[in-house]
């Protein structure tokens, strides 16, 4: 499934995906594994770092959810070891969610991170996002759109040579728009892909994030160069002039 770039528009089917959940606290691990199973995943639990490495080797899962604080091996080292053996998507689970953890996690080769406490729906949304990113190809992860360069894997963006500091949502939003450069991405698609497939109600938060993203891109909302509003429908990221001619 991850190697099918032919239909980037279709949602990845998450049912039957195998998840290895690495979590030493049984009071979290067992109920969470059951919740993942109710969402259609096959879930296996590892309670230590060494169990995790063995289990990932044995099951070859589609996703690993990795707690950072484990009794035997530091989660960061587990991540590094897993990365040496496999390119399985790894979502780090952190209690603190500090910038340092996040940056270190992503540098170690984790694909995303999630902060405790979390709702199952949030985890499912993260898994969905990681799977979607994966299917475009982790190492073909550079997108060039005019002056913009997006390194999807490293989650970094440059305008001309200047690196932009985007938040996680702003980055996800930009990548989602960039995947369909010069096409309209509807508000509903953006909400469901960037936020959660189970969002309800207002999309006001989307407008707020679009405004922030535009500001960071140096885009004038009255005459945008990058992010264009398609009234009543959604947004379109403009490609370079030569590509859209």
The contact set with Ca ion (CB under 5 A) reads 24, 67, 69
Burial 12-31 (b: 16+ CB within 10 A, else e): bebeebebbbbbbeeebbee
Q: Which is nearer to Ca ion, 9 or 27 (CB)?
A: 27
C-alpha distances (whole Å) from 197 to each of 114, 120, 178, 180 are 17, 12, 20, 19
Q: Between 3 and 27, whose beta carbon lies closer to Ca ion? A: 27
Q: What's the min distance (Å) between Cβ of 56 and Ca ion?
A: 17
Q: What is the length of the chain?
A: 245
Provide, rounded to whole angstroms, the least separation between the CB of residue 185 and Ca ion.
38
Cα-to-chain-centroid distance, residue 235: 20
Structure tokens at 231: 């009234």
Task: State which residue has the least CB distance to Ca ion.
Answer: 69
Shorter beta-carbon distance to Ca ion: residue 90 or 217: 90
Query: C-beta of 192: minimal distance to Ca ion in Å?
Result: 31
Quote the least distance from Cβ 104 to Ca ion, whole Å. 17
Torsion, CA 5, CA 8, CA 10, CA 14, rounded to 10: 60
Compute the distance between CA of residue 204 and CA of residue 113 in angstroms, rounded to an integer. Answer: 25
- Closer of 26 and 215 to Ca ion (Cβ): 26
User: Cβ(171)–Cβ(157) under 8 Å?
Assistant: yes
Peptide bond into 117 cis (omega under 30): yes
CB of 4 to Ca ion, least distance (A): 35
Nearer to Ca ion, 50 or 69 (CB): 69
């Amino acid at each position: 499934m991850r190697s099918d770039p032919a239909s980037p528009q279709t949602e990845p089917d998450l049912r039957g995906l195998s998840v290895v959940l690495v979590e030493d606290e049984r009071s979290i691990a067992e109920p969470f594994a059951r919740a993942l199973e109710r969402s259609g995943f096959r879930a296996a639990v590892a309670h230590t770092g060494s169990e995790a490495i063995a289990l990932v080797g044995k099951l070859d899962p589609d996703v690993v959810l990795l707690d950072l604080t484990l009794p035997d091996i530091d989660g960061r080292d587990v991540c590094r070891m897993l990365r040496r053996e496999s390119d399985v998507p790894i979502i780090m689970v952190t209690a603190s969610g500090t910038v340092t953890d996040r940056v270190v996690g992503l540098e170690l080769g984790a694909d995303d991170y999630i902060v405790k406490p979390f709702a199952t729906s949030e985890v499912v949304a993260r898994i969905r996002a990681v799977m979607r990113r994966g299917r475009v190809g982790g190492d073909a992860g550079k997108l060039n759109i005019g002056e913009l360069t997006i390194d999807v894997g490293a989650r970094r963006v440059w305008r001309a040579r200047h690196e932009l500091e985007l938040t996680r949502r702003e980055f996800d939003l930009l990548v989602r728009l960039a995947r369909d450069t010069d096409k309209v991405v509807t508000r509903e698609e953006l909400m469901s892909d960037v936020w959660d497939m189970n969002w309800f109600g207002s999309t006001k938060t989307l407008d707020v994030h679009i405004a922030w993203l535009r500001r960071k891109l140096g885009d004038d909302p009255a005459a945008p160069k990058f992010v264009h509003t398609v009234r009543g429908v959604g947004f379109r990221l403009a490609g370079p002039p030569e590509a859209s001619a």
